[in-house]
Amino acid sequence: MSPAPSREELALDVLFVGGGPACLAALWRLLDLVEAHNRRPGVRKLEGLCFGLIEKAEGFGDHAFSGAILDPSSLRELCPDFLARGFPSEGVVQAEEVWVLSSDHGGVKLPVLPTFLGNRGAHVVSLSRMVRWMAELIGAREVPGVEVLLLPGFAGQEVLWEGGRVAGVRTADRGLDGEGRPRVDHQPGTDLKARVTVFGEGPRGHLARELEAVLGLQAQSPHPQVFEMGVKEVWELPEGRLLPGSVLHCTGWPQEEGESGGGFLYGLSGNRAALGFVVSLDTRDPFADAHECLQRLKGHPRFAEVLEGGRPVEYGAKALAIGGWHAMPRLAFEGGMLLGDAAQMVDAARLKGIHLGLKAGLCAAECLLDALLEDAFDELSLQRYAEAFRMSWAGQELRASRGVHGILSRGPEPMAALKLGLSRVTGGWVPGGGRAPQSDADRTSTTEAYYGKPGIHRCDLGPGVHPDGRWILGKLDALFLSGTRHDERQPCHLHLVGDPGICAQCHATMGAPCTVFCPAQVYEMRSPSGGEGPRLEIAFANCLHCKTCDIKCPGRNVIWTPPQGGGGPRYTLC
């Protein structure tokens, strides 16, 4: 029998965890700064450095997912000639509409757009394409004195600790069987040891959870981290149907009254459109289902007239951080930093976060250069990043919108517009605007409390949408368009951490919300033969990595962990 392969160790100066815009911007700017520093005469040169970046997807951009409308201010700061360098803009925003829908055919278009919702001059983007563009430009760089290792297909499994400080990340093993035993192709994960580790895993990061458990980064935050969940389809449309850069937002129907969320339709280049729906995960509705809302939205005349004659070509889903200023954790600690969606850096008023994640990356890079020059990676030194971000225009933008999620999470109520206007005038203050400090999981109601019907399940409310083989998609049909693939011979990456009785109890009182909100139909309650009670079955290979189950499970019974070997969706246009 051949000996088990040993675990490798790699020493880095800076390790970035997550190939999203925040970490890529930090790495890009750090390369700029080191290059500029080393050109200065008479300074001690920075040489022999090694920067690494790991990304769980097999290719950069494969798991990147957002609406998205990009405020280009921080991208311009990072790369003033971004358009000349091939930035994949889908169109500059020119025409915008906001609708409040009242039924499957009714609604009003707002006559005037609130200024904070305006997007003129911003770029409609595919985050997947944008991330790929950033990674390609970084990969093509040659900076004397620095080696750059871009490592897609490597997920961080656990944080490495040395005497209470972060010392790097261990990547996930490959080649484990369904029971977690080594197969013949088993490869232990690598210990990536770094002088400083920058965490930008996106919303509900697996490693960020470990950081929180050990360091209590959220302890001083007035609010818990809160999220929304978005689903999106990319459509091919008849030529000339929708101008690239045209923007349509809506709220109200098809959600239940008082629920928060809304739909969007953006014109993309190449006669394509992004059609999506976002549901606030602080909903009390145990049967909230963003996928179903999206399917129903397609039948509304304002959307149907655009989509007629087209076809969906890609599908995806993801949780989105929405907490902003009040929910931001401590951003720096011994040996590490946290940035982007992983740190709740999203402006709830403008419904934007990519530009804030990019700005956080720029602030982090300035701090990292100083840290490398001073060989100082303690919390006090890295706090300069946190201070710089909070004092920057990005931090002030987040501060000014700190009450907005609390207002919008109550749905389109009559006073909402007034409160929103007031918060803009007062720089963020609103009477009663701060939301109750309750997690999204804790907000979920029983079916009795929400629908007045104890013990019901989704099917008791009547049939959902019927897939029509044309443009109404069932979840499994939609999943096919996401390109999702996992090696099914590996352990399930969705862990039930408590007693199976928790799921049975949830099924009885709340109708098992995970079987409804999951956009990929991963969860199903099944009653095995033999008279036993229903059990939760998990089709993990379908998982889109949206993290909603980890956030919204009312019993906090699901923990999402990264699967091995780059599995997951393969987004190209999302």
Residue 543 is a binding residue for ligand SF4 (CB under 6 A): yes
Closer to ligand SF4 by Cβ: residue 223 or 318: 318
Q: How far is the CB of 95 from ligand SF4 (least distance, A)?
A: 33
Which one of 70, 320, 549, 573 is in contact with ligand SF4 (CB under 6 A)? 549
Q: How far is the CB of 478 from ligand SF4 (least distance, A)?
A: 11
State how far the Cα of 339 lies from the Cα of 367, in Å rounded to an integer: 13
Q: How far is the CB of 494 from ligand SF4 (least distance, A)?
A: 6
State how far the Cα of 424 lies from the Cα of 420, in Å rounded to an integer: 6
Tell me if residue 372 falls in helix, strand or coil. Answer: helix
Q: Which stretch binds ligand SF4 (CB under 6 A): 187-195, 328-336, 546-554, 563-571?
A: 546-554
State how far the Cα of 447 lies from the Cα of 227, in Å rounded to an integer: 22
Q: How far is the CB of 429 from ligand SF4 (least distance, A)?
A: 35
State how far the Cα of 571 lies from the Cα of 316, in Å rounded to an integer: 7
Q: Which stretch binds ligand SF4 (CB under 6 A): 4-12, 43-51, 164-172, 547-555?
A: 547-555
Which one of 520, 525, 536, 574 is in contact with ligand SF4 (CB under 6 A)? 520
Q: How far is the CB of 558 from ligand SF4 (least distance, A)?
A: 7
User: Do the Cβ atoms of 120 and 350 come closer than 8 Å?
Assistant: no
User: Do the Cβ atoms of 200 and 362 come closer than 8 Å?
Assistant: no
Residue 126 is a binding residue for ligand SF4 (CB under 6 A): no
552 — phi, psi (to 5°)? -105, -10
Q: Which stretch binds ligand SF4 (CB under 6 A): 45-53, 67-75, 278-286, 545-553?
A: 545-553
Q: How far is the CB of 474 from ligand SF4 (least distance, A)?
A: 15
Q: Which residue has the tokens 């970035």?
A: 16
Closer to ligand SF4 by Cβ: residue 364 or 546: 546
Residue 253 is a binding residue for ligand SF4 (CB under 6 A): no
Residue 130: burial class (beta carbons within 10 Å; 0-12, 13-18, 19+): buried
Q: Where are the beta strands (DSSP E) in 243-358?
A: 247-252, 261-268, 272-280, 311-321, 332-333, 336-338
Closer to ligand SF4 by Cβ: residue 203 or 254: 203
Closer to ligand SF4 by Cβ: residue 63 or 384: 63
Q: How far is the CB of 518 from ligand SF4 (least distance, A)?
A: 3
State how far the Cα of 442 lies from the Cα of 3, in Å rounded to an integer: 48
Which one of 89, 401, 548, 557 is in contact with ligand SF4 (CB under 6 A)? 548
Tell me if residue 63 falls in helix, strand or coil. Answer: coil
Q: Which stretch binds ligand SF4 (CB under 6 A): 54-62, 121-129, 244-252, 542-550?
A: 542-550
Tell me if residue 533 falls in helix, strand or coil. Answer: coil
As given in the structure block, the two tokens for residue 267 are 């014109």
Q: How far is the CB of 239 from ligand SF4 (least distance, A)?
A: 34
Residue 290 is a binding residue for ligand SF4 (CB under 6 A): no
State how far the Cα of 389 lies from the Cα of 517, in Å rounded to an integer: 34
419 — phi, psi (to 5°)? -65, -40
User: Do the Cβ atoms of 226 and 282 come closer than 8 Å?
Assistant: yes
3-state helix, strand, coil in the chain (%, to 5): 30, 25, 45
Which one of 172, 547, 569, 573 is in contact with ligand SF4 (CB under 6 A)? 547
Q: How far is the CB of 218 from ligand SF4 (least distance, A)?
A: 21
Q: How many residues bind ligand SF4 (CB under 6 A)?
A: 13
Which one of 194, 250, 522, 573 is in contact with ligand SF4 (CB under 6 A)? 522
Q: Which stretch binds ligand SF4 (CB under 6 A): 126-134, 327-335, 345-353, 538-546?
A: 538-546
Closer to ligand SF4 by Cβ: residue 246 or 548: 548
Exposure letters 86-112 (e unless 16+ CB within 10 A, then b): ebebbbebeebebbebeeeeebeeeee
Residue 560 is a binding residue for ligand SF4 (CB under 6 A): yes
Residue 536 is a binding residue for ligand SF4 (CB under 6 A): no
Site string for ligand SF4, 469-498 (x = CB under 6 A): -------------------------x----
Q: Which stretch binds ligand SF4 (CB under 6 A): 169-177, 307-315, 334-342, 543-551?
A: 543-551
State how far the Cα of 517 lies from the Cα of 261, in Å rounded to an integer: 14
The residue count of the chain comes to: 574
Q: How far is the CB of 144 from ligand SF4 (least distance, A)?
A: 42
Q: How far apart are the first and last CA of the chain?
A: 46
State how far the Cα of 66 lies from the Cα of 33, in Å rounded to an integer: 29
Closer to ligand SF4 by Cβ: residue 152 or 513: 513
Residue 544 is a binding residue for ligand SF4 (CB under 6 A): yes
Site for ligand SF4 in 500-519 (CB under 6 A): 518-519
Closer to ligand SF4 by Cβ: residue 78 or 319: 319
CA angle 267, 272, 275 (to 5 degrees): 65
Contact positions vs ligand SF4 (CB under 6 A):
494, 518-520, 522, 543-549, 560
